[in-house]
Amino acid sequence: MSEPDPTLLDYAIISEPFPLYATTGTDDPATALHLVVSNGGGDTVYCREIVFSLPAGDLAQSLVAQDAGDGQAPDWTVARIEPGTQTILPPGDYAHFLAKPNKADSAVDVSGIVITLENLKISPLPGTARIEVREVATTNTDKWPSSPRFKKLEITKFPAPRIPALAVSDFTADTLEVTSGAPVRLTWTGPSTLDYTVSHGGDSHPVGKNHSYSTTIDRDTTFQLSYETGELKTTHYLTTTVTVKNPKLTGLTVNGDVTVTNGSTTVEGLTVGKDLTAQQKLTVHKDLTAKQALTVSGSADLQGLTVHGALDAKATLSVNQTATVGETLTVGGILKANSDITVSWGGKVKFTTDGVQGISVDGKTVVHDGTSIHLENGYVSGGYLWAYKGKDDDYATVHDGETGNGRSYWTVHTT
C-alpha cells in the first residue's frame, strides 16, 4: 500500500496555555490548540475539508484524555465527528474534528486560516503526541484527489510544574475606602486548581476555586487570603486592608487626646482619664465620668454626670436629670435646674428648693415678695397681729415697748 500524498498546505500548532502540561487532576483548566493553516507555495490551493485526529487515552503518546472539545474558525465550520461518517477516519482512539469552509471549494490564499480546538481535556502522562491531519485539497478544481493528503503534527506534553507561591497575586478590593455597612468586593489572580480562603474579623470564609469574595464591613478591616501548594500543603498568605470613613466601634480606649473637629459625637458610655475637649456638640446618652478636666466649648446634653474634681461652666449648663458634684461647682453664667436643688454640708441639708417658689435654708422657709404670712407675738402666746374696721376709722393697735421686752418679738408663719 502506497503512502498518502503530503498535504498541499502548511500546518503549525501551538497550545494555550503554553507550554502544554500533562493534566494533574480533574480541576485542571481546559486547554485550547491553535492550528495555523497557510499556503506556502506559489499556486492557489482549494480546500474542501480538513480532518484533525487527536490521539485519545491515558498514554504518553495520547494528547487528550477523552473525546471532547469544540472548534471554531473564521468563515469555516469546525465540529467533532464520530467514526462511521463518510469522511475517512483512522482506526483507534481519537478525538476527530472536521473543518469545512462555509464557501465550497474555498481558496486558501496569503491570509491563511487559524482553526482553534478548545475545551480539550489533556491526558495525564508527559510525552509527545502526534496529531494526524487529513486534507482534501487541490490546485486544480477540475481534478480532486481520490484520497486525502496526510501529515502528522507533533506536540509535547510537559510535566506539570509545582505551583509557585508567587503564582497568586493582585489581592485587592474594588474600593479601598468605604462607608460603614457598604459592600466590599475582593479579587485576586491565581491558578484555578487551588482552593482559596478569605479571613477577616476572626472568621474564615472558604471560597473554593473562585477568585472573588464579597462582604460588608463597619470598621477598618484587614483581609487575609490563604491557599496551599505542593505535596506538603504549604500555606501561603496575602493581605489587603479596607478603611471605613465612619466606623462603628464596640469599644474605644484612647490614652492621649481625643479631638472632634466636625459634626456631633454620640456615645452610650464614656470614661475619660485625661482631658476631653469638644469644640462642638457632645451628646452622652448614658454616664459620663470625668476624672480630670472636662471642657465643652459648645453645648453639652447629659442624662447623667459624675464629676470627681472641679466642674467649671463658663456658659449655660443644662442637666435634664441628676447632676452630682463631689467637690466645687463653679458657674460663671446661669445655672438652670428643671427640678429642685438641694445643698448639703456635713450630712445636714443647708439649702433646698420646693416646687415653683419654695426655698428652705437650714430647714426653714425663706420669705420672698408675695409670700402670705402671720405674725405671732413672742410674749402673748397665740396672739397675732391683726387689723379691724371700727365705726370711725380703720386702724391697728401698736403698743410701745422696749427692744428687750418680750412683747416686741414676733414670729413669722407662712400660710
Q: Residue 280 pLDDT more than 80?
A: no
What CATH number is given to the structural domain containing 102? 2.60.40.1530
Shared domain for 316 and 395, answered yes or no, is no
Please state the rounded mean pLDDT for residues 284-311: 68
Shared domain for 174 and 151, answered yes or no, is no
Tens digit of each residue's pLDDT (9 = 90 or more) over 258-271: 676 666 666 666 67
Q: Residue 254 pLDDT more than 90?
A: no
CB 323 within 8 A of CB 306: no
Domain encompassing residue 216: 165-244
Shared domain for 170 and 53, answered yes or no, is no
Q: Flag the least confident range among 91-95, 210-214, 289-293.
A: 289-293
Q: Residue 62 pLDDT more than 90?
A: yes
Output the pLDDT for position 242: 97
Percent of the chain with pLDDT over 90: 46
Among 179, 214, 244, residue at a domain's last position: 244
Let me know if residue 400 belongs to a domain. yes
Shared domain for 151 and 207, answered yes or no, is no
Give the model's confidence band at 298: pLDDT under 50 very low, under 70 low, under 90 confident, else very high.
low
Please state the rounded mean pLDDT for residues 215-238: 92
Let me know if residue 345 belongs to a domain. no
Output the pLDDT for position 323: 67
Output the pLDDT for position 231: 73
Q: Which tops the pLDDT comparison, 133 or 249? A: 133
Instruction: Point out which residues pair with 120 in neighbouring strands.
Output: 31
Instruction: Point out which residues pair with 388 in neighbouring strands.
Output: 395
Let me know if residue 223 belongs to a domain. yes
Q: Residue 400 pLDDT more than 60?
A: no
Let me know if residue 52 belongs to a domain. yes
Q: How many domains does the chain have?
A: 4
Output the pLDDT for position 227: 94
Let me know if residue 75 belongs to a domain. yes
Let me know if residue 1 belongs to a domain. no
Output the pLDDT for position 313: 67
Among 185, 209, 244, residue at a domain's last position: 244
Q: Residue 327 pLDDT more than 70?
A: no
Output the pLDDT for position 154: 97
Amino acid identity for residue 70 in this structure: D
Give the model's confidence band at 300: pLDDT under 50 very low, under 70 low, under 90 confident, else very high.
low
**Mean model confidence pLDDT for the chain:** 82
Among 106, 132, 157, residue at a domain's last position: 157
Tens digit of each residue's pLDDT (9 = 90 or more) over 30-53: 799 999 999 998 899 999 999 999
Q: Residue 85 pLDDT more than 70?
A: no
Output the pLDDT for position 179: 96
Give the model's confidence band at 1: pLDDT under 50 very low, under 70 low, under 90 confident, else very high.
low
CA-based nearest residue to 269, from 281, 257, 248, 252: 252
Q: Residue 113 pLDDT more than 70?
A: yes
- Beta strand pairing status for 31-38 and 113-120? antiparallel
Shared domain for 37 and 82, answered yes or no, is yes
Provide the 10 A C-beta neighbour count for residue 129: 23
Let me know if residue 367 belongs to a domain. no
Distances in whole angstroms, Cα of residue 155 to Cα of each of 52, 54, 143: 13, 11, 33
Give the model's confidence band at 393: pLDDT under 50 very low, under 70 low, under 90 confident, else very high.
low
Q: Residue 221 pLDDT more than 90?
A: yes
Shared domain for 205 and 138, answered yes or no, is no
Output the pLDDT for position 225: 97
Sheet with 358-361, strands from edge to edge, namely 342-345, 348-354, 358-361, 364-365
Shared domain for 326 and 192, answered yes or no, is no
Q: Residue 342 pLDDT more than 70?
A: yes
Let me know if residue 76 belongs to a domain. yes
Name, of 20-29, 63-72, 215-224, 358-367, the range with top average pLDDT.
215-224
This prediction has a pTM of 0.49
Output the pLDDT for position 355: 67
Shared domain for 146 and 192, answered yes or no, is no
Shared domain for 142 and 170, answered yes or no, is no
Give the model's confidence band at 376: pLDDT under 50 very low, under 70 low, under 90 confident, else very high.
confident
Shared domain for 126 and 224, answered yes or no, is no
Shared domain for 274 and 327, answered yes or no, is yes
Q: Residue 161 pLDDT more than 80?
A: no
Tens digit of each residue's pLDDT (9 = 90 or more) over 134-144: 999 999 999 99
Output the pLDDT for position 373: 78
Shared domain for 295 and 271, answered yes or no, is yes
For 241, half-sphere exposure in the C-beta direction (CA atoms, 13 angstrom radius) is 5
